[in-house]
A = this chain, B = another copy of it.
Amino acid sequence: MAIPVQDLVQANARYAQAFDQGDLAMPPAKKLAVLTCMDARVEPLAFLGLRLGDTHVIRNAGGRATPDAVRSLAISQRLLGTDAVLVIHHADCGMLTFSNDDIRARIKDESGQEAATAAAGVDFLPFSDLAASVRLDVRTLRESPLIPESIPIYGFIYDVHTGKLAAVE
């Protein structure tokens, strides 16, 4: 059963009563952009020791360097002054557990032919090797003409079981 949305609204009312960070500027204070996974166990602000206002955070299934991630990074860099990127995938990622055929079959079973037709046109971007997916996504960003060559792009793997970040060379 879906979470009662009223619970979230009430929790927000309590948060807003104590809120005292309303003066933060729009451009990220640390001039950083993080691209990472939507996974519920991944909270980049916490595990990077950053605070509200410090960094742009772009998240999708897998933390993949999709055209939408490039769009977001271009806005981040060109209009809001960020000048470094972290690409962070993580251990025990859901993207390691399925293939395009698996999810397309699931969607067809659950939702029928119209959904199956839509799913056939989508690459869900699963992967089987975590370090290789980080390297591929760093390379994709590096090769994008939309991202200035002067901006460093670092690849990492985050371990959801230990809280540790490891560089991917």
Contacts and interface: CB of A to CB of B under 8 A. Distances in A.
Interface in A22-76: 22-24, 26-33, 38-41, 43, 45-50, 52-61, 66-72, 74-76
A132 interface: no
A165 B27 CA distance: 21
A54 B43 CA distance: 11
A55 B40 contact: yes
Contacts of A2: 31-32, 83-84, 151-152
Interface in A88-144: 92, 94-95, 97-98, 103, 106-107, 110-111, 114-115, 117-119, 122-125, 144
B16 A71 contact: no
Interface of A: 1-3, 5, 8-9, 11-16, 19, 21-24, 26-33, 38-41, 43, 45-50, 52-61, 66-72, 74-76, 78-80, 83-84, 86, 92, 94-95, 97-98, 103, 106-107, 110-111, 114-115, 117-119, 122-125, 144-146, 148, 151-152, 154, 160-165, 167
27 contacts: A3-B32, A5-B84, A5-B86, A5-B152, A12-B49, A12-B163, A12-B165, A13-B164, A19-B163, A22-B160, A22-B162, A24-B40, A24-B160, A27-B40, A38-B72, A43-B52, A58-B59, A58-B60, A61-B76, A66-B71, A71-B125, A78-B103, A79-B98, A80-B94, A111-B145, A118-B146, A122-B146
Q: What 6 A-B pairs have minimum CB-CB distances, sorted nearest first?
A: A11-B49, A19-B163, A68-B68, A2-B84, A61-B72, A16-B163
